[in-house]
């Protein structure tokens, strides 16, 4: 899981950006300009406001973001995860820059989250991501408002990676977007309370319907065994081993570690 997170689309974009130091420094000027503009005015800033705030020529603005620029984050997502990228409309260069600015602003939170989840199972990593994202949104209300409370795209990718195979990134997007909407409608709501609002839906993603059905069948099998007086002790021991293995598989599928055999 950690290896996949450190090899994500966003991680590769960030690492490549730092390698192209001069361009990266220029890009960060415009990311800061985007955040400053959202703090000073209601809504999404336009290109003119961003150029004025950054203090550079208009031509530089068009080398940082937009569909004609190579190596941009949104272009990478359109190539790797197009259905997720579709959730982030970018009709203008300013809008394109806005999505990258959100990832740039969130990156320190992401870095801290990655350090914290070392050794954690998928359940805890998912729940801590939800908490970190709620905390970020609460501290960046102006930015989130300008972006219609869309979660940073890298957070959605991370969420899908931690969930493992099964739920699509779009499912994660829907949950995280609703989480941020909860932050939006209640300015004083603590991040913990916002995260709690997503708990039921998160539990559903972590415990898919198929797993729940398998657990029900397992419980029924146990009841049938225990109520059958004709099963020998030796056979009961064999069945016990089989049930223990089945339980470990169920726990492994949910990302939880089962108890070690004695």
Judge whether 234 lies within some domain: yes
Residues 98 and 162 in one domain: yes
Instruction: State the average pLDDT over residues 232-246.
Output: 71
Closest C-alpha to 125, from 256, 258, 259 = 256
Q: Are 182 and 196 in contact (CB under 8 A)?
A: no
Residues 37 and 88 in one domain: yes
Residues 130 and 245 in one domain: no
Judge whether 261 lies within some domain: no
pLDDT digits (tens, 9 = 90+) for 154-206: 999 999 998 876 557 777 888 898 888 888 877 777 777 777 777 777 777 67
Residues 135 and 225 in one domain: no
Residues 45 and 172 in one domain: yes
Q: Are 172 and 159 in contact (CB under 8 A)?
A: yes
Q: CA 4, 6, 10, 16 torsion: positive or negative?
A: negative
Judge whether 124 lies within some domain: yes
pLDDT digits (tens, 9 = 90+) for 126-154: 888 998 999 999 899 999 999 999 999 99
State the Cα–Cα distance between residues 127 and 243, nearest whole angstrom: 29
Instruction: State the average pLDDT over residues 39-44.
Output: 85
Judge whether 262 lies within some domain: no
pLDDT for position 210: 44
Judge whether 260 lies within some domain: no
Residues 137 and 201 in one domain: yes
Judge whether 258 lies within some domain: no
Please, which residues have CB within 8 angstroms of residue 250's CB and are 6 or more apart in sequence?
Answer: 211, 214, 215, 218
Residues 242 and 202 in one domain: no
* Distances in whole angstroms, Cα of residue 3 to Cα of each of 11, 157, 158, 221: 11, 14, 11, 38
Residues 11 and 126 in one domain: yes
pLDDT for position 209: 42
Q: Find the largest Cα–Cα distance for the chain.
A: 86
Q: What are phi and psi of 187, to 5 degrees?
A: -55, -30
Residues 185 and 224 in one domain: no
Read off the tokens for 39.
């703090």
pLDDT for position 30: 96
* Domain harbouring 131, CATH code: 1.10.357
pLDDT for position 196: 76
Question: What residues make up the domain containing 34?
Answer: 2-206
Residues 129 and 227 in one domain: no
Closest C-alpha to 218, from 196, 197, 244 = 244
Judge whether 135 lies within some domain: yes
Q: How many domains does the chain have?
A: 2
pLDDT for position 126: 87
Closest C-alpha to 66, from 27, 102, 33, 104 = 27
pLDDT for position 249: 56
Residues 51 and 167 in one domain: yes
Torsion angle of the four alpha carbons 140, 142, 145, 146, in this order, in degrees rounded to the nearest 10: -120
Judge whether 149 lies within some domain: yes
Residues 229 and 177 in one domain: no
Lowest mean pLDDT, pick from 17-31, 75-89, 211-225: 211-225
Global confidence as pTM: 0.76
């Amino acid at each position: 899981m950690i290896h996949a997170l450190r090899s994500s689309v966003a991680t590769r974009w960030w690492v490549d950006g730092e390698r192209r130091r001069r361009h990266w420094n220029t890009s960060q000027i415009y990311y800061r300009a985007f955040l400053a503009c959202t703090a000073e005015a209601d809504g999404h800033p336009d290109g003119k406001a961003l150029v004025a705030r950054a203090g550079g020529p208009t031509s530089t603005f068009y080398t940082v973001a937009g569909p004609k620029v190579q190596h941009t984050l949104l272009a990478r997502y359109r190539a790797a995860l197009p259905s997720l990228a579709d959730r982030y409309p970018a009709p203008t260069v300013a809008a394109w820059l806005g999505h990258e600015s959100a990832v740039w602003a969130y990156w320190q939170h992401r870095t801290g989250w990655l350090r914290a989840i070392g050794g954690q199972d998928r359940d805890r990593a998912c729940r801590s991501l939800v908490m970190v994202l709620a905390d970020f949104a609460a501290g960046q209300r102006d930015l989130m408002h300008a972006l219609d409370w869309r979660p940073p795209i890298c957070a959605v990718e991370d969420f899908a990676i931690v969930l493992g195979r099964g739920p699509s990134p779009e499912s994660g997007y829907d949950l995280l977007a609703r989480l941020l909407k909860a932050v939006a409608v209640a300015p004083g709501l603590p991040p913990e309370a916002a995260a709690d609002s997503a708990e039921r839906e998160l539990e559903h993603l972590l415990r898919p319907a198929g797993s729940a059905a398998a657990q029900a069948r397992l419980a029924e099998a146990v009841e049938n065994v225990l109520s059958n007086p004709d099963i020998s002790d030796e056979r009961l021991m064999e069945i016990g081993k089989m049930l223990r293995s089945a339980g470990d598989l169920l726990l492994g599928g949910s990302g939880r570690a089962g108890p070690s055999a004695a």
